[in-house]
């Protein structure tokens, strides 16, 4: 599940061009990139595998754990408690 996105969208912040997706600047380049991906199975696999790896950084469990630890640290710092 790789990403094909325009350079000016929010998704573009997460896409590393040629690593986990493809960024384009025009509809013409978008259509060209789609055709290239259709014809290049190894590139599809590479982008897909790297996108899956990146997506794990944004799983519910990862984000919940981050916020739990962050809020716990704030609480402990404000209350000067030691665990």
pTM for the full predicted model:
0.63
pLDDT of 1 above 60: no
Nearest Cα to Cα of residue 33 among 1, 5, 8, 10: 5
Q: Are 17 and 25 in contact (CB under 8 A)?
A: no
The dihedral formed by the CA atoms of 14, 15, 16 and 17, expressed in degrees to the nearest 10: -160
The rounded distance, in Å, linking the Cα atoms of 23 and 60 is 26
User: pLDDT tens digits for 23-61?
Assistant: 888 899 989 999 999 999 999 999 999 989 988 888 899
More confident residue, 81 or 63: 63
Q: In which band, very low, low, confident or very high, does the pLDDT at 2 lie, cut at 50, 70 and 90?
A: low
* Mean pLDDT of the chain, nearest integer: 84
């Amino acid at each position: 599940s790789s990403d094909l996105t325009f350079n000016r969208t929010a998704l573009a912040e997460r896409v590393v061009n040629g690593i986990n997706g493809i960024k384009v600047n025009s509809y013409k380049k978008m259509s060209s990139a789609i055709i290239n991906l259709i014809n290049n199975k190894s590139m599809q696999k590479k982008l897909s595998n790297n996108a899956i790896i990146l997506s794990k950084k944004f799983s519910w469990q990862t984000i919940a754990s981050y916020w739990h630890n962050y809020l716990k640290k704030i609480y402990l710092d404000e209350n000067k408690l030691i665990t």
